[in-house]
Amino acid sequence: MKFGSSLFASVLIAVLGSVQAFAADSFPSKPIKVVDAWPAGGVVDVITRAVTQKLSEDWATPLVVENKPGAYGLIGTEFVAKSAPDGYTWLIGTLGTPMSSSLYNKPWKAVERFAGVAILARSALLAVVPADLPANSLREFVALAKSEPGQLNYLNPSIGSASHLNVELIKAKEHIDVVSVPYNGQPPGVADLLTGRLQFALLAPQVAAPQIRAGKLKALAVAFPTRIAAFPDLPTFAEAGYPYADVVATYSILVPKQTPSDVVAKISAGVEKALKDPTVQKRIDAAAAEVASSVGPKQVDTFLKAETVRWEQFFREHSMNPK
C-alpha cells in the first residue's frame, strides 16, 4: 500500500513538473494584459509602455496595457489578484501596492496574493511649490509649515507612494502639520497646485518640468540618492538636510501568487533583456528614471515584504490614518 502511494506521488510530481515545463516552453501563446493601476500619462505609464513595447517585439505577442486607476491603485490591484495565475495578467506595482490591502483593511494582504517578477525602474521626485509661495528651499517650506500648522496642503497621489511616504517622514520627524489631499495619480492634482489649493507636492520630473520652466512652480529639492541631469543645481533631500526622507519611487511587475515559477522566470528574463535595449533605456531616461539593476523574482518578493513591514510599523507607531 505504501509502495502504491509512493509510486502515485512520484508520478503526480513528474506530471505536474512536465505540465509546468510545458507551460513555460509555450509561453506566451496569447496576448498578455498589463494592468497599470494609475492614470495614463504618468511616469509609471511611460515606463510600462517602453518595456511592454519591446517585449511585444521580442515575443511577437501583443502586450496590452490597460489603465485601471482608482482607490489609490486598489482597483487595478484587486483585478489582477483575482485573475488566473497563468502569466497572462500582470500588475505594474509601486511601493503602495503591497500596502494597499492592509491600509484599506482588506481581509487579505497584497504580498500574499502576488509573486514578484522584476523591478523595472526607480525614479526621482521633485519637491515643488507654487511660484508665489514664500519658500525657496525645502528648509524654508518646513519652517513655513511650522508657523502655519494645518494650513498647508500637499498632493497625495496614492497611499503608500514615495510622494506620500516622504512627506509623512518629514511631518513626523519635524513635527509639522501639512494636510494630505488625495488624488488618483499626480497629473490630476497639478491644476490645484497651480491655483493654490495645494501648497506642496512631490512630482515626477516629466510632470513638474513644464510648469517649472513656465515659472508657475518652484523646485526645492529632489527625492533621489543623487542629483538628476534635468535639474543639476537642485539639491537632494539629503543635501537639503532631510536624509531620512529616503523613499525612492520604485516600479515592478507582479503576477498572481500561484503563477508557475518557470513562467515567472521566463517573464523575468524577458524583462531583463528588454531593459538592456538602448531605445527602452532612452525612454526611461527621458522620464528622469533609471533602469533597475538586475533583480530576480525572489529579490522582488523580499523587497516588497520588507517595505510592507516597514511602513505598516511606521503608521502604527505614529498612530496615523494613512489617508
- Predicted model pTM: 0.83
pLDDT given at position 98 = 63
Burial class of 188 by CB neighbour count within 10 A (0 to 12, 13 to 18, 19+): middle
Instruction: Beginning with the edge strand found earlier in the chain, give each strand of the sheet holding 32-36 in spatial order.
Output: 63-67, 32-36, 89-93, 249-256, 114-123, 289-291
* Partners of 155 in beta bridges: 181
Per-residue pLDDT tens for 113-145?
899 999 999 999 999 999 999 999 999 999 999
- Grid-cell match 509601486, residue found: 94
Per-residue pLDDT tens for 211-237?
999 999 999 999 999 999 999 999 999
d(CA 98, CA 253): 12
Least confident of 14-18, 168-172, 234-238, 278-282: 14-18
pLDDT given at position 7 = 55
Least confident of 6-20, 21-35, 157-171, 307-321: 6-20
The residue type at 180: S
- Same-fold call for 21-120+250-317 versus 125-223: yes
pLDDT given at position 75 = 87
The residues spanned by each domain of the chain are 21-120+250-317, 125-223
Residue 321 in this model has a pLDDT that exceeds 60? no
Phi, psi angles (nearest 5°) of residue 252: -135, 170
Per-residue pLDDT tens for 79-120?
999 999 999 999 998 877 766 655 665 656 677 889 999 999
Q: Is the peptide bond before 256 cis (omega within 30 degrees of 0)?
A: no
Q: What is the mean pLDDT of residues 204-215?
A: 94
Report which of residues 151 and 74 the model is more confident about: 151
Per-residue pLDDT tens for 1-23?
444 555 554 555 554 554 555 45
Average pLDDT, the chain: 88
The third-level CATH classification (topology) of the domain covering 125-223 is D-Maltodextrin-Binding Protein; domain 2 (3.40.190)
List the CATH code of the domain at 21-120+250-317.
3.40.190.150
The residue type at 81: A
